[in-house]
Chains A and B, each alone.
Chain A
Amino acid sequence: MIGLLKKDLLAIYRGFGIFFIGILLAPLTGVSGITAIALILVAVMPMLLMELDNNSGWDKMLATLPLNKTQIVLSKYFISYVLALPMGLLSLLSTKILPLFDIYPSINYTTLIVTICGALTFMSINNLILYIFGVTKGKIAYAIFFALFYLISRFLLDSEGMLENLQTIIINIDEKLIFVVLGTFIINLVSIIIAVVKVKLIK
């Protein structure tokens, strides 16, 4: 699987160049919004990689290599983990370094963990959609899912008192952070299991 991760990292680097470096270093700004956007872009990377694989025919090549289907599926999840981890560390680093220069980051430990968990949950749902429907149909399903998510979020946020409730949730989440991490882990695990089973059934 190391070879597949190398391939994905190289493909992202060669495909997106300086933009990719920018995404990786974005958490150093310490701005929660920028970090969140960078992490969401990382969560979308597997989809872009699957599309690249599909277009180049790499999928056909993969079938001839000494790799099993579990390794192939796992690599598309691991690429997000491999990228999200250093980004999280950079973000934490920003909270320590930036104050030395009188710059105070808007991101804190809780927001960072919640943002990473949110991005990885989003990635796991996105990957599952792609493995179930294939890359072309999966992208359409993903767009519908994303549009619905946006509309529901808008509706909830526009509802009276919902913003206050949301702020209360964010304040209280600090105590329940372990459940957020655990929930993310379970969602990712279930997504991986379903994706592996789905891929093993196809030939």
Chain B
Amino acid sequence: MDALSTKNLTKKYDGFTLDNINLSLKKGRVLGLVGGNGAGKSTTLNLIMNTIKASSGDVEILGVDNTSSKFTDIKQSIGVVLDNAYFPEVLTIKDINKIMKGIYKFWNEATFFSYINEFGLPLNKKFKDFSKGMKMKLSIAVCLSHNAKLLILDEATGGLDPMAREEIIDIFAKYVNDTDNSIIMSSHIVSDLEKICDDIAFIHKGKLLLNESKEVIYKEYGVIKVLKNDFESIDKNAIINYKINGDSIEVLIFKEKLTNSHYEIITPTLEEVILLMTKEGVK
């Protein structure tokens, strides 16, 4: 059973359509959702959590359709971190512990306070006086403290400094050491995704352009640099996309389909793949 799967998930707005998103997240794996501002990452995560209604398509989480009445119970096993932390401003961490204890059946107070301690968050300070980073850390502590089997993270590391991000990424990595646990996370910070994700889904202008395991991307994708005059000699079937830099052209290719092997093939970083894929002038 997949931890999460979406089939032909579509949401139509005036001027924007999230189009036929098909994702699959196996247990024990981390799926990174990457894309620019307004690409449709948050919309996808909201559709997955059924907080907005899909125009069409299906979502199954931990074996349950997200529109069924059973989904409320399944949410006990889902930890969510939204792009901002939305706790009532007048409350303190101690208050939030009391509230969550009344909401989650498997709320683990000891785990919660151990994360609070690890993150160095103040117990009696009101939430409104927290910095953005502290707020996000609190959200992360909450999502990790009720024995969730799936974490849905929307820009969870966004407001954090590089050291805190590293710390959080390590915590998430430990979390998926348990092969029953899975994570789907969106981020602008591709280096974070590169560190932790097993699979990458790249959404651009509402369309899913890439949905592969990181291994496959590194193994099958390559970049070659050619002069403009030589560009025509490249096998067109091998070209995914390209970027013109003055007299030279940077070409993203499928390594296996490249027949003229005299070019030096560079294994690209995830960021390079994504940047090259979004350039206008797709083959």
Interface residues of A (CB under 8 A from B): 2-7, 10-11, 14-15, 52-53, 55-61, 63-68, 203
In the bound complex, residues from chain A placing their C-beta under 8 Å from that of B100 are: 3
Q: Which interface class (under 10, 10 to 19, 20 to 34, 35 or more) fits B?
A: 20 to 34
CB contacts under 8 Å to A, within B65-79, are 69, 72-76, 78
User: Which of B83-91, B112-120, B178-186, B196-204 sits within the interface?
Assistant: B83-91
Knowing A3-B103, A11-B88, A203-B53, say if A64 contacts B80 (CB, 8 Å): yes
In the complex, the answer to whether A56 meets B101 with C-beta atoms within 8 Å is no
In the bound complex, residues from chain B placing their C-beta under 8 Å from that of A55 are: 89
In the complex, the answer to whether A60 meets B86 with C-beta atoms within 8 Å is yes
In the complex, the answer to whether B95 meets A14 with C-beta atoms within 8 Å is yes
| B172 contacts A by Cβ under 8 Å | no
Given A10-B98, A11-B91, output 18 extra A-B contacts at Cβ < 8 Å. A3-B101, A4-B99, A4-B103, A5-B102, A6-B102, A7-B88, A10-B91, A10-B95, A11-B88, A14-B92, A56-B86, A63-B51, A65-B75, A66-B73, A66-B74, A67-B72, A68-B69, A203-B51
Within the assembled complex, what's the spacing in Å between the Cα atoms of A11 and B98?
Answer: 12
Within the assembled complex, what's the spacing in Å between the Cα atoms of A57 and B51?
Answer: 14
In the complex, the answer to whether A66 meets B76 with C-beta atoms within 8 Å is yes
CB-CB nearest in chain A for B75: A66
What is the count of residue pairs linking A and B with beta-carbon distances less than 8 angstroms? Answer: 79
Shortest CB-to-CB span from A93 to chain B, Å, is 28
In the complex, the answer to whether B52 meets A203 with C-beta atoms within 8 Å is yes
Within the assembled complex, what's the spacing in Å between the Cα atoms of A68 and B70?
Answer: 10
Within the assembled complex, what's the spacing in Å between the Cα atoms of A43 and B53?
Answer: 33
In the complex, the answer to whether B82 meets A7 with C-beta atoms within 8 Å is no
The listed residue (B53, B90, B152) touching A11 by CB distance below 8 A is B90
Within the assembled complex, what's the spacing in Å between the Cα atoms of A53 and B87?
Answer: 8
Within the assembled complex, what's the spacing in Å between the Cα atoms of A7 and B127?
Answer: 13
Within the assembled complex, what's the spacing in Å between the Cα atoms of A58 and B52?
Answer: 16
Within the assembled complex, what's the spacing in Å between the Cα atoms of A157 and B95?
Answer: 47
Shortest CB-to-CB span from A60 to chain B, Å, is 5
Within the assembled complex, what's the spacing in Å between the Cα atoms of A15 and B127?
Answer: 12
In the bound complex, residues from chain B placing their C-beta under 8 Å from that of A53 are: 88
Rank and list the top 9 A-B pairs by shortest CB-CB distance, nearest first: A3-B102, A57-B86, A3-B103, A66-B75, A14-B90, A2-B102, A64-B80, A61-B86, A63-B51
CB-CB nearest in chain A for B69: A68
In the complex, the answer to whether A66 meets B72 with C-beta atoms within 8 Å is yes
Within the assembled complex, what's the spacing in Å between the Cα atoms of A53 and B86?
Answer: 9
CB-CB nearest in chain B for A203: B53
In the complex, the answer to whether A14 meets B126 with C-beta atoms within 8 Å is yes
Within the assembled complex, what's the spacing in Å between the Cα atoms of A59 and B84?
Answer: 12
In the bound complex, residues from chain A placing their C-beta under 8 Å from that of B102 are: 2-7
Within the assembled complex, what's the spacing in Å between the Cα atoms of A66 and B86?
Answer: 16
Within the assembled complex, what's the spacing in Å between the Cα atoms of A66 and B105?
Answer: 10
In the bound complex, residues from chain A placing their C-beta under 8 Å from that of B88 are: 7, 11, 52-53, 56, 58
In the bound complex, residues from chain B placing their C-beta under 8 Å from that of A6 are: 98-99, 102
